[in-house]
Amino acid sequence: MRAVVCLKQVIDPLTPATSLALDVQDMKIRVRAAAPPVINGFDEQGIEAALRLRETIRELEIVCIAASERFNTDVMKRALAVGADQLILVQDPSLDTWNSYPVAYALAAAIRQIGGADLVLCGRQGSDWDNGLVPYILADLLAMPLLTLAKRVNIADGKRVEIERVLADGSMTMEAALPAIVTVTSELGALRMPSVAARLTAARKQPRQIALADLGAGAPPALAPEVIDLAIPVTGRNCTFIEAADGPGAGVRLAETLLETGAVRLGMER
Amino acid sequence: MSIELVLRLVVLLGAFVWAGFRFEQLARPLLAAPAEARLRPFLPRAWGVVVNILGHARLMRKPYSGLMHMMMLFGFLFLLTAVMQVFGEGVSPLFTLAAIGGRTWIALGQDVFAVLLLTGVAMATYQRVVWKPARFVGSNQRDAAIILSLISAVVVGMLLQNSCHLAAGRDALAAWRPVSSAIASVLVACGVTGAIAIAGATAFAWMHMLAILAFLVYIPGSKHLHVIVGVPNVYFRDLNSAGRLVTPDLEQPKLGLSDIAQLGRKQALDLYACTECGRCQELCPAYASGKPLSPKLLIMNMRDHLLEAQGAGGHREGAGGPLIGGAISEETIWSCTTCRACMEACPLFIEHVPKIVDMRRHLSMEAGRVPDGISGAMLSVEQRGHPWAGTRFSRLDWCRDLDVRVLAPGETTDTLLWVGCTAAFDARAQKVARALVRLLHGAGVDFAILGDAESCTGDAARRTGNDYLFQLQASANVETLNTRAFRRIVSICPHCVNTLKNEYPDFGGSYDVVHHSQLLGELMGQGHLRSMLRGDREALAITFHDPCYLGRYNGEFEAPRAVLAGAGAAIAEMERSHGRSFCCGGGGGRAFAVEPPDQRVNVLRATQARATSAAVVATACPFCLLMLDDGCKAVARLEGDSTPLQQVRDIAEILDDAMRVADETRAPT
Amino acid sequence: MAGILIVAEVDAGVLRPEYWELATVARAVSASIPGGVSVAVIGADVAAAAQQAAGIGPDTLHVIDDERLANPWPEAHAAALIQLCGELSPQMVLAPRSILGAEIAARLAVRCGWPLLQDVVQIEATPDGGLQAVRPVSGGAVAATVRIGAGPWVVVPRPRAFAPAAASAVAEITPTRHAFAPPPFATACGTPQRVAVQGLSVDRAKIVVAGGGGLGGPEPFTLLREVAALVGGAVGASRVAVDSGWVQSTMQVGLTGKTIAPDLYIAVGISGAIQHLVGCSSSQVIVAVNSDPAAPIFGIANYGVVGDCKEVMTAFRDTLATRAAQAGRAV
């Protein structure tokens, strides 16, 4: 049985705004200091879900696949260090995009090339562009059922996948026949720490590098909007102090301000 | 040959064989343990034995116990002459020490030291039975009682044997045995003379001998084993700088200590050497805060586990159950702040911290079981080179409006300011870095920083057992440092100072590293800053908290106090200061760990600081700053608003405040 | 052909609050998008919700009411929406950025091959018949302006980014009922296990009201709970508050607690030690109330109030309660 975990290499989401540099020529967000990227946190939880499955399904092969313009191999190798059997990196300049379609097409083609998968695990969304679209496109391309936002993943009889899906105010169980795609969410729990022995072994392993051209991925549709400007919001985190004569006055002003800006809506939240 | 002589020989031989067997059992794991290169250099090692064993240097820190131990040690040493007599006479009734003064000064000495020894026993008994200091909690009291009884029996047996001889009139040594003579005269007055006295002498001679033999047989299973292994344990003590942990080879099959059989020879010897005196426990901040760690119990439990493993199938891996999670709980292992108070206190130089770190290495690098807060911080070090994930700052934000040069590869500066992660990323600690920069500018020091090229030194990674991460950080930083030229490094963080100075030489980086307290002290000494001090200062009552990694680890206690005195502070010392300073709770990665609310070290330390009534708690370490700031607020809350909140400040901020020049960069950022 | 189709998500019998914000977006662009505004109400037993949805005065109201849509089952709800879009051919579909809404929007976009605009905070129609929108990326650190040519499009606005439209007097409109005719399902779902809003954990809530050492004791947390109930959020706490035994540790935010990223984080009496900021710095909007003007929390806050926490929050709660009562009368 094979589980494929789709990974994305992203800018560290905790990069402070002062370290971000906007390239409005190429419409790219870059990091000023030499801060390395990270594996998208939700995708790491996809690896964790696969590792947990392997605790009961011994023969589960875990293949991690990522598609990007270029990779920081040391960062991506964390997947091998924690226990993935294989890491496949699909590279192509066209993958340096915020458009989900080329990435999903590349991932789907890679999955087909390795002979398919019984289970495809994805993070719920990338922490950079937050599109969360890749799993849906993959489901379409691979013609697999899609179960989303799992905080628990289980495989029953080797034939069906069952998940516990999170809701805003609870959870519900869902299931589908394999092969299927499952997206995981943060409630699943963080990726485990690799042992040093595994890290050293992983350091000696090389990921399989595949050029997109060799996959025959097909041309993705041009469905993404075009980015025409990038800006660091000036309002972001520049504290506006609410001035008032006294404490109660400030409380009233604060309430009015939050209602006006829409930060607070009354009696309508769930 | 008399029957008694035969009997004596048999008993002697039997006792020797029995004791020999017991000692051999103890020696086996030691011999099987991997050797540590601790033989040379001879002279400093031997001198340490003289100072610490004969000179009682560490023991005398507690005068009562020190004096008591001195009387017992020297009494014991001198009464070895009586032991020789016993064993000699056991073999041949003609044996005598007369040729070397056995009938003159040795006789006198035996009488005198017997009294000293008994006084020591009496003091020890008083201490254990009446005084009962808390440091004995958890020690084996029965063992202590047996030992004290045996010592008494040996001494009393010898004295009464001699007294009976005198009472029988068969000994002409009355003048050389004043104590025995006095007892003899009482015996005579009671009618113990002639044949009764002779019979008594024989009986007490047996008592003396049997007590000695019992002692010999008992020692191997007792805390009194230190009479044998104390000397070698001091001789083989760690002579490296306190702040240097051994760099493990990461390619070895087992990383970290998970099986007692992995212990190095000196590390195993430590377990035998422990006297259960509890001086470590008394000073341990983790123990004081109610956590499961007591350095004494750690060593005792490891010793018991070693012996159990030995009994359960020789020196084989896994024998006697698991070390971690069995003999020692994971919680115990993570409780340590690596403050080193235990190691400084131990009269026999037992190395607690390296053992704890070694067990953490297993948990971190093999088992992958690290407490949440710590693992998150270490993941952040790995991913972004600092532990403060979530900071809104980059490494340069703290000094954007200050004139600070970033040293590029190939460039030169006199003093490289190693800012450290906390001072770069935490809004509170940034103020310390800013104060220091103003002082350096004022003193005209040529300095620069590494900016984005600086990365965590890896101190917390190493001390939480993640030596893999530490070695990555160390190698990267050494590479960065070696492409730039500077005379020396100054750092705000004692943890950085310690690692840069003591641990980076293993990675090809040997630098002259000073702490900012030392640099500021030096600048003041040269008069660079004195001329700028304001004249209208009021003496501020300040108490100073010694950071462990500045004081105990690197021996610097005076420089920060000199800076404070220079700034016009009147220093009120806390009960625990200097070498006995009480950790803030943030060392050894604990700054990132979950501290249970009722077990917080920083609150204990803040309570001690409050007892001085000083308005300001000064320190010289960013971790101490954050921990104590938090602790002081907690204490103020606990005591209600009636008591004012103590301010926690770094010495650089206090000195900066005392400067004449005011400028806008001083405004809160 | 319909112009704009608003997805009115019904959650446990009532319309989700984002519906009124979608109406605002629809009104803003409807002048440039011919075909009027339609509303799709999908679910089971949604008659009352459909009537409520009619409050914005749409041109047409479409309802798929089917037992199979009783649970928030993404595949079924997406099938219903796809079916409606096939029948109505809208130019723009507006869906709420809720767990279910965002999912059926994505399923629709991929199935129909329509571009998807996620997490939009500003939007306008361009003269050339396209759309231009602003959306936060990289966790809100960067605002990206994006443009797309001719529709149809699927647009998912960010909650609270647009003012809710006021409900006009209930319009007389007869819902068009559509029979649900889905293709075979590939997934199956069980019945949701829901927890009360009061029991919402800090890492799930969109709004978190958190208290710290500055509150001085456990009592003011009652005040924070009342505020949280008014705004539909959860109560969090700093380590100091947890350590002092005022509240349970499950509420803790920070390095040794939970890392959260709600839409609104109100930090009351929390100074903002770096260990705390780790857990909350990704929040969309941060409000800080503290008596110490030098507290580091103001360094990451969007709105700050320097003052006595109890005074400020009592007035804050009372104002919200008054407004809620007024709103209740108005509806």
Same domain, C15 and C103: yes
Residue with tokens 């109400």: C41
Same domain, B390 and B475: yes
H or E element at residue C7: strand C4-11
Alpha helical stretches, state H, chain C: 18-30, 47-53, 74-88, 99-112, 220-231, 239-243, 274-280, 309-330
Contacts of B593 in chain C (CB under 8 A): 256
Number of domains in chain B: 4
How far is A30 from A19, CA to CA, in rounded Å?
9
Quick one: pLDDT at residue A235? 44
Cross-chain CB nearest to C285 (options A14, A131, A263): A263
B478–chain A nearest CA distance, Å? 17
Cross-chain CB nearest to A169 (options C136, C200, C301): C200
Q: What CATH number is attached to the domain comprising C136?
A: 3.40.50.620
- C307 vs A250: CB contact, 8 Å cut-off? yes
Same domain, B292 and B189: no
SS3 C34: coil
Same domain, C247 and C316: yes
The mean per-residue pLDDT over the stretch A122-131 comes to 89
The mean per-residue pLDDT over the stretch B598-625 comes to 94
pLDDT tens by residue, C23-62: 999 999 999 998 999 999 999 999 999 998 998 889 999 9
Same domain, B449 and B425: yes
Q: Cα B463–B326–B318 angle (5° rounding)?
A: 95
Same domain, B193 and B288: no
Contacts of B641 in chain C (CB under 8 A): 216
- Specify if C185 maps to a domain: no
Domain final residue pick, B308, B334, B367:
B367
Boundaries of domain holding B304: 260-367
Same domain, B121 and B154: yes
Average pLDDT score over chain B = 92
- C192 vs A127: CB contact, 8 Å cut-off? no
- Specify if C190 maps to a domain: no
How far is B333 from B78, CA to CA, in rounded Å?
42
- A131 vs C319: CB contact, 8 Å cut-off? no
CA closest to B422 among chain C residues: C274
Q: Which of B499, B550, B489 is nearest to B519 (CA)?
A: B489
pLDDT tens by residue, C300-324: 898 999 989 999 999 999 999 998 8
- C244 vs B597: CB contact, 8 Å cut-off? yes
- Specify if B379 maps to a domain: no
Please report the number of interchain residue pairs, chain A to chain B, with beta-carbon separation below 8 angstroms.
Answer: 54
Contacts of A199 in chain B (CB under 8 A): 468
Cross-chain CB nearest to B373 (options C244, C255, C273): C255
Contacts of C307 in chain A (CB under 8 A): 244, 246-247, 250-251
| CATH superfamily of the A2-215 domain | HUPs (3.40.50.620)
Same domain, B538 and B552: yes
Least confident of B37-51, B168-182, B357-371, B561-575: B168-182
Structure token digits, residue B480: 């960065």
> φ and ψ at C280, to 5 degrees?
-130, 0
Residues B573 and B611 sit within 8 Å (Cβ to Cβ): no
Which residues, in sequence order, are bridge partners of residue B515?
A: B491
User: What SS3 string covers chain A?
Assistant: CEEEEEECEECCCCCCHHHEEEECCCCEEEECCCCCCEECHHHHHHHHHHHHHHHHCCCCEEEEEEEECCCCHHHHCHHHHHCCCEEEEEECHHHCCCCHHHHHHHHHHHHHHCCCCCEEEEECCCCCCCCCCHHHHHHHHHCCCEEEEEEEEEEECCCEEEEEEEECCEEEEEEEECCEEEEECHHHCCCCCCCHHHHHHHHHCCCEEEEHHHHCCCCCCCCCCEEEEEECCCCCCCCEECCCCCHHHHHHHHHHHHHHHCCCCCCCCC
Same domain, C153 and C218: no
Same domain, C37 and C163: yes
Quick one: pLDDT at residue B546? 98
Same domain, C41 and C170: yes
- Specify if B268 maps to a domain: yes
Q: What CATH number is attached to the domain comprising C251?
A: 3.40.50.1220
Quick one: pLDDT at residue B597? 75
Residues C233 and C262 sit within 8 Å (Cβ to Cβ): yes
Contacts of B600 in chain C (CB under 8 A): 243
How far is A257 from A234, CA to CA, in rounded Å?
18
Phi-psi map region of C36: left, alpha, beta (phi>0 left; psi -120 to 50 alpha): left
Same domain, C137 and C220: no
- A33 vs B375: CB contact, 8 Å cut-off? no
Chains with ≥3 CB–CB distances under 8 Å to A: B, C
- Specify if B253 maps to a domain: no
Domain final residue pick, C143, C177, C211:
C177
Cross-chain CB nearest to A268 (options C17, C190, C311): C17
Q: Is the pLDDT of residue B369 over 90?
A: yes
Quick one: pLDDT at residue B431? 95
Same domain, C170 and C318: no
Cross-chain CB nearest to B428 (options C244, C259, C296): C296
Q: Is the pLDDT of residue B662 over 70?
A: no
Same domain, C171 and C249: no
How far is B277 from C37, CA to CA, in rounded Å?
85
Boundaries of domain holding C312: 197-330
Same domain, C49 and C101: yes
How far is B237 from B81, CA to CA, in rounded Å?
30
Same domain, C234 and C320: yes
pLDDT band at residue A16 under the 50/70/90 scheme: confident
- A130 vs C119: CB contact, 8 Å cut-off? yes
Edge to edge, the sheet with strand B412-418 lists B447-449, B412-418, B485-491, B513-515
Q: Is the pLDDT of residue B372 over 90?
A: no
Number of domains in chain C: 2
Contacts of C279 in chain B (CB under 8 A): 390
Query: Helix B3-32 crosses helix B265-273 at what angle (to 10 degrees)?
Result: 130
Same domain, B415 and B315: no
pLDDT tens by residue, C54-78: 988 899 999 999 999 999 999 999 9
- B634 vs C243: CB contact, 8 Å cut-off? yes
Contacts of C140 in chain A (CB under 8 A): 233, 236
A20–chain B nearest CA distance, Å? 10
Chains with ≥3 CB–CB distances under 8 Å to B: A, C
ipTM of the complex: 0.90
Least confident of A225-234, B611-620, C104-113: A225-234
> φ and ψ at C163, to 5 degrees?
-65, 145
C144–chain A nearest CA distance, Å? 5
Domain final residue pick, C177, C212, C228:
C177
Q: Are strands B447-449 and C92-94 parallel, antiparallel or unpaired?
A: unpaired
Same domain, C145 and C286: no
Q: Cα B473–B478–B482 angle (5° rounding)?
A: 155
- C164 vs A254: CB contact, 8 Å cut-off? no
Same domain, C22 and C159: yes
pLDDT band at residue B661 under the 50/70/90 scheme: low
The mean per-residue pLDDT over the stretch B546-559 comes to 97
Residue C35 CB coordination number (10 Å): 18
Question: Domain residues of chain A, as ranges?
Answer: 2-215, 239-270
Same domain, B101 and B180: yes
Residues in C whose CB is inside 8 Å of some CB of B read 213, 216, 240, 242-245, 255-256, 259, 272-275, 277-279, 281-282, 294, 296, 299-300
pLDDT band at residue B651 under the 50/70/90 scheme: very high
- Specify if C39 maps to a domain: yes
Q: Which of B371, B1, B86 is nearest to A193 (CA)?
A: B371
Q: What is the DSSP letter of C167?
A: P
Same domain, B45 and B169: yes
Residues B514 and B490 sit within 8 Å (Cβ to Cβ): yes
Q: Which residue has the higher pLDDT, A90 or B633?
A: A90
Same domain, B504 and B537: no
Contacts of C273 in chain B (CB under 8 A): 428, 626, 630
Domain final residue pick, C149, C177, C205:
C177
pLDDT tens by residue, A56-105: 999 999 999 999 999 999 999 999 999 999 999 999 999 988 899 999 99
pLDDT tens by residue, B258-300: 999 999 999 999 999 999 999 999 999 999 999 999 999 999 9
Structure token digits, residue B587: 């060392």
Q: What is the DSSP letter of C245?
A: T
Same domain, B494 and B410: yes
CA closest to B639 among chain C residues: C216
The pTM (predicted TM-score) of the whole model is 0.88
A204–chain B nearest CA distance, Å? 12
- C274 vs B600: CB contact, 8 Å cut-off? no
B26–chain C nearest CA distance, Å? 44
Contacts of A14 in chain B (CB under 8 A): 380, 384, 389-391
The mean per-residue pLDDT over the stretch B153-159 comes to 94
The mean per-residue pLDDT over the stretch B151-177 comes to 88
Same domain, B195 and B286: no
- Specify if C184 maps to a domain: no
Domain final residue pick, B182, B201, B235:
B235
- C137 vs A13: CB contact, 8 Å cut-off? no
Residues 6+ apart with CB under 8 A from B650: B431, B432, B435, B492, B618, B619, B620, B622, B625
pLDDT band at residue B316 under the 50/70/90 scheme: low
CA closest to B387 among chain A residues: A14
